């Protein structure tokens, strides 16, 4: 449960983070969560439209490679027994709420941050798995899925580095967080290069437009 004391009041050291990190992280979480929710909503609507009209031309189907129709109809699109976008509809509001709470200068206990971080770890692992399944098995680069990839990577990095720098995992991990903090943008770019670079090398995505 959130502890609503303000930044100026004393808080447990384990829940503290370096000054200036809360606002930036809050914006990343709010924007990332909102865009992830938008992508999940659009994919859910596309899934419903396909159920109603199997022959419909989805707006996300740009060409034979850049499309979401094959992803929605694949087994990977319902890996838990229900459409993956429903999972996004349930989970992406969480970073929006946490981000808004940070802007309101709320404080959270260490256990909350680690639980939130565990959720982000699941999200980033699921994103990379889906991305490589899409590229190497389904043979597509899904536009709305790509937006999910794009926002989940910086959210995961931001929360993880924040927790490390807050000293929640001990002094050794705090030093790791301090070292990684200046490189968050570069690490996010590296994540994008891994996914979209693989898509270009394997699918020649740009070649489908030129």
Q: What pLDDT, in 10s, does the model give residues 58-79?
A: 989 999 999 999 999 999 999 9
| pLDDT over 70 (residue 200) | yes
Q: What is the pLDDT of residues 117-176, one digit of tens each?
A: 999 999 999 999 999 999 999 999 999 999 999 999 999 999 999 999 988 878 888 999
Tokens representing residue 23 in the block: 């606002």
Of 70, 201, 67, residue with least CA distance to 146 = 67
Q: Percentage of the chain surpassing pLDDT 70?
A: 90
pTM of the model: 0.88
* 1: in domain: no
Please tell me the predicted confidence (pLDDT) of residue 86.
96
Segments forming the whole domain that contains residue 120 = 20-208
How far is 150 from 147, CA to CA, in rounded Å?
Answer: 5
The verdict on residue 25 lying in a domain is yes
Burial class of residue 178, CB neighbours in 10 A (0-12, 13-18, 19+): middle
State how far the alpha carbon of 210 is from the alpha carbons of 28, 205, 206, 207, in Å: 34, 10, 7, 5
Examine residue 76 and state whether it is found in any structural domain, yes or no: yes
Instruction: Determine, yes or no, domain membership for 9.
Output: no
Q: Per the structure, how many domains does the chain have?
A: 1
* Residue 13 in domain: no
């Amino acid at each position: 449960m959130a502890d609503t004391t303000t930044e100026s009041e004393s808080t447990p050291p384990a829940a503290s983070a370096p000054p200036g990190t809360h606002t930036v992280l809050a914006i990343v979480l709010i924007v990332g969560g909102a865009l992830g929710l938008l992508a999940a909503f659009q994919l859910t609507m596309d899934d419903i439209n396909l159920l109603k009209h199997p022959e419909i031309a989805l707006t996300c189907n740009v060409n034979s490679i850049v499309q979401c129709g094959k992803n929605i109809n694949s087994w990977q699109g319902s890996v838990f027994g229900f459409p993956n976008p429903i999972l996004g509809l349930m989970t992406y509001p969480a970073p929006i709420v946490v981000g808004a709470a940070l802007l309101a200068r709320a404080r959270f206990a260490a256990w909350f941050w680690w639980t939130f971080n565990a959720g982000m770890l699941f999200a980033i692992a699921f994103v990379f798995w889906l991305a490589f399944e899409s590229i190497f098995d389904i043979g597509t680069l899904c536009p709305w899925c790509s937006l999910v990839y794009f926002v989940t990577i910086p959210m995961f990095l931001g929360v993880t580095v924040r927790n490390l720098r807050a000293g929640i995992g001990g002094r050794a991990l705090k030093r790791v967080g301090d070292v990684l903090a200046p490189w968050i943008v570069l690490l996010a770019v590296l994540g994008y290069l891994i996914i979209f670079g693989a898509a270009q090398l394997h699918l020649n995505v740009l070649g489908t437009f030129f």
